[in-house]
Structure 1
């Protein structure tokens, strides 16, 4: 018993000491959980000068968007160590300037409204509180590097968890500085909890909210992901613990990576069937990969984070897009998804890429820089690319090309291992030249021309050639039982608006584009016959007449447009094996994916997939 208790006592004493000598102390009191309200007080030590700027970040890490988080603050007050009020002025959307005296400690307090679950910045209700420091805890730049304590006052029976170290009470945490605090959200409330160990690290799972999930199964699958990611990227960046926070919600969805934890949100009834659950596990893999790619090493323009302004970089396609690709590899190699499922997702990505005219308008590097000013809306597909989807495909392309150049010995993971070894955050992160150096170190070849063509430029990624190297091809395959082998391609995307289809997007240079159809048009009829949203393409096909006379409402006026849809193969996008794939291609394929080229009949492969599903 003594052997078990003594280390715990020593740890408690150590953390108690850290608390006693901390320089910045935070207290969070949940005052009205049902109304999403809390009171925050912060004790800052004495500062130099006659003013102290106390700030709430305007964005949070992991989401490259200005969120104006100070909007949720009310009743801001400031006092000195004697409790005497200090004057202050709000000088911008995230800054409160307190008038003080040199050498005088400052205490600030304020009420915060926390009801932004989907933003993953802060959310309080009668069952839990999710507290990301960026949305609830202010800081003062002179003390950003100082040690921190956080103490929570919560409803009875709530349990508080975080990736931070525990302090000297059940609801206390300690951090070496504000940067660790802001990257270590706190989840407090009522949870289902699971824990397991991998290589001496405690991996924890806290689930908030009821839903159709199996927590025990979830923990088992997360363990596979943790083990496989370590095999892929190297030693764990965290020293003690990692916390998976899962929110089973009534609609909010998404996920955010943090230094030693992640939060994953998914509607409560979407953890089943397998397709939905697999999506959850891929998200979990994505966020866990981020523990290396972004948290351990990231673009140098984001080191350190600047919380009061945008952090522009041309490398988010690596930070986010490569992570999206690595999530696919990790789940495949861990046995979470099958080889066929991996290739099916690649097929969908290539199909979406084919119908992204913006790839000829904006490069991956430009998209990274412009993520802070993402245009979105009807023009996004025609005028831009996405750091996630384009970065994923570039990661795939780099992986295959590195495998080709090294006869299968190395891949994209080795490029990331190089960045992890040479360009961690404490070394200043990595720049564009550093990534090219990593590629050269791994392959022995110069990648400058490739980079200029596909990263800085808008060259078409040569997927037919790349896939051929690994014994595959991308096709649109008609179903065996389809009587109709072709269908119309219109270039239209619509949604239901009352009784008629409303145009939401028109693909550049598509038949709809050439006909003059624009987003916002309501489609009424083709050749005098009424159109409905559900059977739009089928009705157009049955007419078999071109050009068609398309009737649309635009600005409440009826217009008649000549519309000439194009024929295309009716079928499913597929990445499949070449009929004549040779041994060299098959071997390279196995090195690339980390799983053997299939040799079983299709029926046996189906049974394997069903086994994994169970």
Structure 2
């Protein structure tokens, strides 16, 4: 399957796509556009941005095109050996899962606009980019001898590889564990590369030391920095797309960059490879319901900041501040929610990314991070730090991520209880499948490391550090760098 992408009128924000494929003797071919994208579990109906679509045979003859669903077209091939489909896509949104084109920037998420032939999703893909002179490309796909022609093993790899292209891209690299990491920046800024590479290398090293190996041969941090306030990142198979702003925020922007980058890097294990079985493989035509997004996003949220502290990028004060942020977001907004984490994971497809009605759902990110914290500290207290959530994640990697077979909720329960060495009925009933408020369990866990969360009558919360020498020693053991320890399997 071959795609050619051009932007003949940049100010229009329309990308022009030419899609060529063999018919293999078929009398008709159905072409599908995805209805959603990985990392955002909601139907997004990308087809609404297609203005026109037509098809011709390899001989040049016009072919009949009939729309059979909102995002599927049937092309009558009439004995043609190949077909050429031409269409356009309005690309005028800048978030971490969108596409945007003008005269200075091409930002492409191929999942938004590349059609695929039904039942041929595993065929290799070639993408030819008619880029303006002087544009550089940031993308996890491999280029051919022509730098503007990219190749993917199949459609899944293609649409899991966002692209940024511009004449004004900033770029630097660092290496950890023999893996090259690329950092790309576009926006009104002058990156402090020495600081960025030092800090990124530190949390990358910490994550690899914890998990034992890195899943990919290289990795790309692709950053679009906007002049307006923004915070969004999306995980991909060997890259992440991050959109942040405003570009004049200084230290606040840099801390946001560190936080989202560490979070997204951990997704290279937890989501991309350690994947719920309901998402393996992705079905881009409809909802892919699953109940374990509290593992996918909650554990990753917990670890994103924890790795920054373990690596010495965050100090104690900044880390406590970040802990308090997602405590406040949970307790001040959904303390009395009627849904469990399992139910809210399932209902991501309904309203998971909007505010929703009062006291209905919980955040798989914020409550998910809190229950990960509770579990980690429970395991550490029970075993005097001999076992922890690190062991759970490594076991998930070894059993489900490396072989890439997908795990169920029951699989996750089994791994956790194997690490714990006991049934954890209280944890599943209260923290995951139930709606019991977390204050008591959370403060029991926090006391082990010398913290206490205080709830005020107005609904606000505050996280305090206790003056407790014994707990302070547990704090240090909790935050000990995996680089200094021998991971236990």
- Contact 1:303–1:425 at 8 Å: present in 2 too? no
**Residue 163 of structure 1: which of 116, 131, 140 is its match?**
140
Q: Would you say 1:470 and 2:449 are equivalent positions?
A: yes
In structure 2, the partner of 1:592 is 478
In structure 2, the partner of 1:573 is 462
- After TM superposition, the structure 1 = structure 2 runs for residues 253-292 of structure 1, keeping only pairs within 5 Å, are 253-273=231-251, 275-292=252-269
- Return closer, same or farther for 1:340/1:361 CA change in 2, 3 Å cut-off: same
- How far is 1:172 from its partner? 1.2
In structure 1, the partner of 2:273 is 296
Q: Would you say 1:177 and 2:140 are equivalent positions?
A: no
In structure 1, the partner of 2:297 is 320
In structure 2, the partner of 1:231 is 209
- Contact 2:50–2:88 at 8 Å: present in 1 too? yes
How many Å separate the matches in 2 of 1:414 and 1:103? 56
In structure 2, the partner of 1:310 is 287
Structure 1 counterpart SS, 2:447: helix
How many Å separate the matches in 1 of 2:394 and 2:194? 32
**CA deviation map 1:359-388 (0-9, x unaligned):** 441101101000111177675452221111
Structure 2 counterpart SS, 1:265: strand
- How far is 1:469 from its partner? 2.3
How many Å separate the matches in 2 of 1:146 and 1:416? 32
- Contact 1:436–1:446 at 8 Å: present in 2 too? no
In structure 1, the partner of 2:485 is none
- Contact 1:244–1:263 at 8 Å: present in 2 too? yes
- How far is 1:221 from its partner? 2.0
How many Å separate the matches in 2 of 1:376 and 1:53? 31
In structure 2, the partner of 1:202 is 180
- How far is 1:182 from its partner? 0.5
Structure 1 counterpart SS, 2:88: strand
How many Å separate the matches in 2 of 1:357 and 1:81? 57
**Residue 37 of structure 1: which of 2, 9, 14 is its match?**
14
- Return closer, same or farther for 1:246/1:180 CA change in 2, 3 Å cut-off: same
- How far is 1:145 from its partner? 0.6
- Return closer, same or farther for 1:351/1:77 CA change in 2, 3 Å cut-off: closer
In structure 2, the partner of 1:423 is 400
In structure 2, the partner of 1:510 is none
**CA deviation map 1:464-486 (0-9, x unaligned):** 2111222332236xxxxxxxxxx
- How far is 1:396 from its partner? 0.7
Structure 2 counterpart SS, 1:297: coil
How many Å separate the matches in 2 of 1:72 and 1:459? 43
- How far is 1:184 from its partner? 0.8
- Return closer, same or farther for 1:425/1:139 CA change in 2, 3 Å cut-off: farther
How many Å separate the matches in 1 of 2:16 and 2:355? 41
- Contact 2:298–2:365 at 8 Å: present in 1 too? yes
- After TM superposition, the structure 1 = structure 2 runs for residues 16-27 of structure 1, keeping only pairs within 5 Å, are 24-27=1-4
Structure 2 counterpart SS, 1:324: helix
How many Å separate the matches in 1 of 2:156 and 2:344? 27
How many Å separate the matches in 1 of 2:355 and 2:12? 36
With 156-165 and 337-346 compared, the bigger mean Cα shift is at 337-346
- How far is 1:357 from its partner? 4.5
In structure 1, the partner of 2:199 is 221
The count of aligned residue pairs is 478
How many Å separate the matches in 2 of 1:36 and 1:593? 48
Structure 2 counterpart SS, 1:151: strand
In structure 2, the partner of 1:340 is 317
- Contact 2:138–2:222 at 8 Å: present in 1 too? no
- Contact 1:399–1:411 at 8 Å: present in 2 too? yes
How many Å separate the matches in 2 of 1:105 and 1:28? 19
- Superposed CA RMSD in Å reads 2.3
- How far is 1:157 from its partner? 0.5
Larger Rg over CA atoms? 1
How many Å separate the matches in 2 of 1:316 and 1:167? 37
Unmatched runs of 5 consecutive residues or more in structure 2: 483-489
**Residue 81 of structure 2: which of 83, 87, 104 is its match?**
104
- After TM superposition, the structure 1 = structure 2 runs for residues 377-396 of structure 1, keeping only pairs within 5 Å, are 380-396=357-373
- Contact 1:193–1:204 at 8 Å: present in 2 too? yes
**CA deviation map 1:17-70 (0-9, x unaligned):** xxxxxxx11111121223212211122122464321111111111111211111
Higher relative contact order (CA 8 A, sep 6+): 2
- How far is 1:302 from its partner? 0.7
- After TM superposition, the structure 1 = structure 2 runs for residues 472-491 of structure 1, keeping only pairs within 5 Å, are 472-475=451-454, 489=458
In structure 2, the partner of 1:530 is none
- How far is 1:425 from its partner? 7.7
**CA deviation map 1:90-118 (0-9, x unaligned):** 22221111112467322211112211212
- Contact 2:96–2:233 at 8 Å: present in 1 too? no
- After TM superposition, the structure 1 = structure 2 runs for residues 430-445 of structure 1, keeping only pairs within 5 Å, are 430-445=407-422
- How far is 1:216 from its partner? 4.2
- How far is 1:83 from its partner? 2.0
- After TM superposition, the structure 1 = structure 2 runs for residues 3-152 of structure 1, keeping only pairs within 5 Å, are 24-47=1-24, 49-101=26-78, 104-118=81-95, 120-152=97-129
How many Å separate the matches in 2 of 1:320 and 1:88? 41
